[in-house]
Structure 1
Amino acid sequence: MRIIGGEYRRRWLPILDSPGLRPTPDRVRETLFNWLAAACPGARVLDLYAGTGALGLEALSRGARDAVFVERDPQVANALEANLATLGATGRVETVDALMFLERTASPFPLVFLDPPFRQDLAAASCAALETHGWLTENAFIYLETEREHLPQVPTTWRLHREIRAGDSIGRLYRRTASPADDGC
């Protein structure tokens, strides 16, 4: 996997060969981070179902001040920690199930990446937990990647900002608003 832009641009990082591990493609990351150009610098980032950490690492490369990566597989989490160390990047890896992590006391994030394993029906529960447990700042951006045929249920306070299709997946960037009646975007 390579970092597309920012401080660590063009750096190649090894990824573990693990079933279901699928880094977000370069083209999708490039488009996403063009959309988020003003949101990354200085942001705290939460990368749920982190896997390779491609999205959180890209955010750190583009000026995010800190990232929390949540990955339940210990081997994948160790590989992600090694990549953070290689880059000298500021981040923390939590080796725990994402839904269990979201049950903890929240510290709101302005930027969240949510890329649950496909065909395990985790998107709706994860979105609901982010919203109801206080994990999002008032105008947070939430990037949700799901299988193409899946139309996710998201909280009424989230507004679709942009979307991109690639292969068998679709990425949707949402913007959280202050209330369901507020159009905010």
Structure 2
Amino acid sequence: MQNKKPAKVPVHGAPHSKQVRIIGGDWKRTPLPVLEAQGLRPTPDRVRETVFNWLRHLQGDWIGKQVLDLFAGSGALGFEAASRGAGSVTLVDANTAIVRQLEANRDKVKAANITVLRGDALAVAQSLALRGQRFDVIFIDPPYQQDLLGRSLPLCAPLLKEGGLVYAEAEHALTDADAPDWLAPWDVVRCDKAGMVHFHLLGLRS
């Protein structure tokens, strides 16, 4: 679909041609509009269902959990956690139009437990660590082919509570024998593949 807005604002004002649907919790089946944006890939329902089943099995229910979504995009993961009772969910995205959409979706479901921050995910992660904030779950689903997973995962180590887990999507499996150096401090707790997407739960090695 051709975007008729000026090139300098390719996302703002784009029609809501996509949506995600919350699959569990208080807002189950609620549709949330998603803006068209380069590199934005909402996590599919089946993957979210699998991941949230993993997390419930490993960590118990969501009540009171502190959650960080560093590349929020559609917000599907963060809204899913909030719907299921997370104490606080922080959504981070650098794109102003996407941030406005996340705020509108938050207001739509009256989610007092969701905070939306506009900023570079790497800088925000460093700032949160300096402020001593810690999380039970961190979602990392960055745009591909920019080494953002390799750059952001090391920043998550000081942000995790004891027993905390990182969810990471990637265009390749993180369990290969030639795993990158930045993966060395982490154990792959769970992993699976859906289409071309590899998704993982990672925990810090003790």
Settle same-fold status: TM greater than 0.5: yes
Q: What secondary structure does 1:92 align onto? A: strand
Q: Would you say the 8 A contact 1:47–1:113 is kept in 2?
A: yes
Q: Would you say the 8 A contact 2:70–2:125 is kept in 1?
A: no
Query: Which shows bigger deviation, 112-121 or 149-158?
Result: 149-158
Matched, 1:26 2:26: no
Q: What 5-or-longer segments of structure 2 have no aligned partner?
A: 1-19
Measure the CA separation in 2 of the matches of 1:68 and 1:92.
5
Structure 1 residue 166: Cα displacement: 1.1
Structure holding more helix per residue: 2
Letter aligned with residue 136 of structure 1: L
- Pick from 126, 135, 145: which aligns with 2:152? 126
Letter aligned with residue 53 of structure 1: G
- Pick from 121, 132, 141: which aligns with 2:165? 141
Match of 1:87 in 2: 109
Q: Would you say the 8 A contact 2:136–2:161 is kept in 1?
A: yes
Measure the CA separation in 2 of the matches of 1:141 and 1:149.
17
Query: Which shows bigger deviation, 14-23 or 35-44?
Result: 35-44
Q: Which runs of 4+ in 1 moved over 2 A?
A: 148-158
Q: What secondary structure does 2:31 align onto? A: coil
Measure the CA separation in 2 of the matches of 1:83 and 1:152.
37
Q: Would you say the 8 A contact 2:63–2:86 is kept in 1?
A: yes
Measure the CA separation in 1 of the matches of 2:23 and 2:180.
28
Q: Would you say the 8 A contact 2:24–2:83 is kept in 1?
A: yes
Identity %: 41
Match of 1:64 in 2: 86
TM-score normalised by L of structure 2: 0.80
Match of 2:76 in 1: 54
Letter aligned with residue 119 of structure 1: Q
Letter aligned with residue 120 of structure 1: Q
Query: Which shows bigger deviation, 146-155 or 111-120?
Result: 146-155
How big is the alpha-carbon RMSD for the aligned residues of Structure 1 and Structure 2?
1.6
Structure 1 residue 50: Cα displacement: 0.5
Q: Classify 1:153/1:114 alpha carbon distance in 2 versus 1 (closer, same or farther; 3 Å).
A: farther
Q: Classify 1:111/1:164 alpha carbon distance in 2 versus 1 (closer, same or farther; 3 Å).
A: same
Letter aligned with residue 116 of structure 2: V
Structure 1 residue 175: Cα displacement: 2.2
Match of 2:204 in 1: 176
Q: Would you say the 8 A contact 2:35–2:101 is kept in 1?
A: yes
Aligned length: 176
Measure the CA separation in 2 of the matches of 1:130 and 1:23.
21
Match of 2:13 in 1: none
Structure 1 residue 157: Cα displacement: 4.0
Q: Classify 1:82/1:153 alpha carbon distance in 2 versus 1 (closer, same or farther; 3 Å).
A: farther
